[in-house]
Structure 1
Amino acid sequence: MVLAAWSIIVLLFVIGMAGAVYPILPGALAIYGAFFVYGFMLGFEPFGFWFWLIQTSIVAVLMIADYLVNALGVKKFGGNRASVIGSTIGLIAGPFVIPGVGLIVGPFLGAVLGELIVGTPWKQALRAGVGALVGFFSSLVVKFGFQLLMIALFVVWVVRYA
């Protein structure tokens, strides 16, 4: 039972960290789910009020920041709502449409196309595309860092209890 529990927990952590890069994966929610797997299979004893408050706060911040950091990158480079929407669509569709490089090309092309659809000149549309890339990479760093923090706090709580 212990081996099965830890196997599932590690798998959820891996899925969670991959979700920092691939937006189609649940990311922080997979990591959060690993805590419940631990609790249901091995016991909730290590986790108290502060553990759940901190972890839930991190998940909430990640969900809000994921969209805001990307949108901020686009807006900082002069993009508008159309480029934010296009970037988001490109981020989700890119890896499927252009395997391999779609994760990077998707947000850029989505932002550029979003701007061009609403009549923005090419030069400004390209700037918005660069902003989408800056936002994507900034968001990736933020998500990766916070998700590592979630895992580290989990390990500290579990080891402290053992």
Structure 2
Amino acid sequence: MIDALVEWLAQGGVWFGWLVAVVLVLVGVAGAILPALPGTPLVLGGLVLMAWLDDFAHVGAGTLLWLTLLTILSILVDFIATAEGARRFGAGRGAILGATLGVLVGIFFGLPGLLLGPFVGAVLGHLAGRARVDDSLRAGVGASVGVLVGTLAKVVISVVMILWFALAWWF
């Protein structure tokens, strides 16, 4: 299967490979914002494909290793930011679980759902643990702050990855 792909690319399908690589990077950047898409892994996949299409002439294993480490860092930061944001505002396990479910449900309601989903989920999750309303509202705010910090971190890391790749390519 891989041999057939390599042969096809060698016969003129290279432009299609570059198109796929660019689309992966663009969808990855969008995925840094939208929780339904694996943002930085898609960016990494597109960048690795670009390096491969160039026979690793401009971007080598060292750069790709650092980009992989940044991808892992972005995934860790995303999980930690949401949980830590909720925890710092007094959320318990129920609120953190509710915030996570709120993000997943919020995806289907566009940007308002992405902003309100973690808040509502954390509040409901915290209330389900027989917490007071004001504590639950605070947990909701914390979960929302955590999601926003995690999203911002993923976007910044995605941009850093693209810039790092571009600098390695041209210099």
TM-score under structure 1 length normalisation: 0.91
RMSD (Å) for aligned C-alpha atoms: 1.5
**Cα offset, 1:19, TM superposition:** 1.1
2:16 to 1, 4, 29: 4
**Cα offset, 1:50, TM superposition:** 2.2
**Cα offset, 1:158, TM superposition:** 1.5
**Cα offset, 1:103, TM superposition:** 0.6
2-11 vs 81-90, which moves further: 2-11
Query: In the alignment, is residue 113 of structure 1 matched against residue 118 of structure 2?
Result: no
User: Structure 1: which amino acid aligns with 2:136?
Assistant: A
For 1:100 and 1:151, locate their aligned partners in 2 and report how far apart those are by CA, in whole Å: 25
Q: Which runs of 5+ in 1 are unaligned?
A: none
1:55 to 67, 74, 78: 67
User: Structure 2: which amino acid aligns with 1:104?
Assistant: L
- Equivalent position of 1:75 in the other structure: 87
For 1:10 and 1:99, locate their aligned partners in 2 and report how far apart those are by CA, in whole Å: 25
- Equivalent position of 1:103 in the other structure: 114
**Cα offset, 1:14, TM superposition:** 1.4
**Cα offset, 1:94, TM superposition:** 0.8
User: Structure 2: which amino acid aligns with 1:64?
Assistant: L
Asked whether the 8 Å contact 1:5–1:42 carries over to 2, the reply is no
- Equivalent position of 1:33 in the other structure: 45
Q: Which runs of 5+ in 2 are unaligned?
A: 1-12
The superposition leaves residues 62-90 of structure 1 with CA deviations (integer Å, 9 ceiling, x where unpaired) of 11111001111101111111111111111
For 1:99 and 1:57, locate their aligned partners in 2 and report how far apart those are by CA, in whole Å: 30
The superposition leaves residues 105-151 of structure 1 with CA deviations (integer Å, 9 ceiling, x where unpaired) of 11111101110111111110000000111111111111111110001
34-43 vs 136-145, which moves further: 34-43
- Equivalent position of 2:163 in the other structure: 152
Asked whether the 8 Å contact 1:113–1:125 carries over to 2, the reply is yes
- Equivalent position of 1:133 in the other structure: 144
TM-score under structure 2 length normalisation: 0.86
| Percent of pairs with identical residues | 33
User: Structure 1: which amino acid aligns with 2:81?
Assistant: V
- Equivalent position of 1:46 in the other structure: 58
Higher helix share: 2
**Cα offset, 1:40, TM superposition:** 3.4
Three-state SS of the structure 2 residue aligned to 1:78 is coil
**Cα offset, 1:28, TM superposition:** 0.5
Aligned length: 159
Structure 2 vs 1, CA of residues 49 and 6 (structure 1 numbering), >3 Å: closer, same or farther?
closer
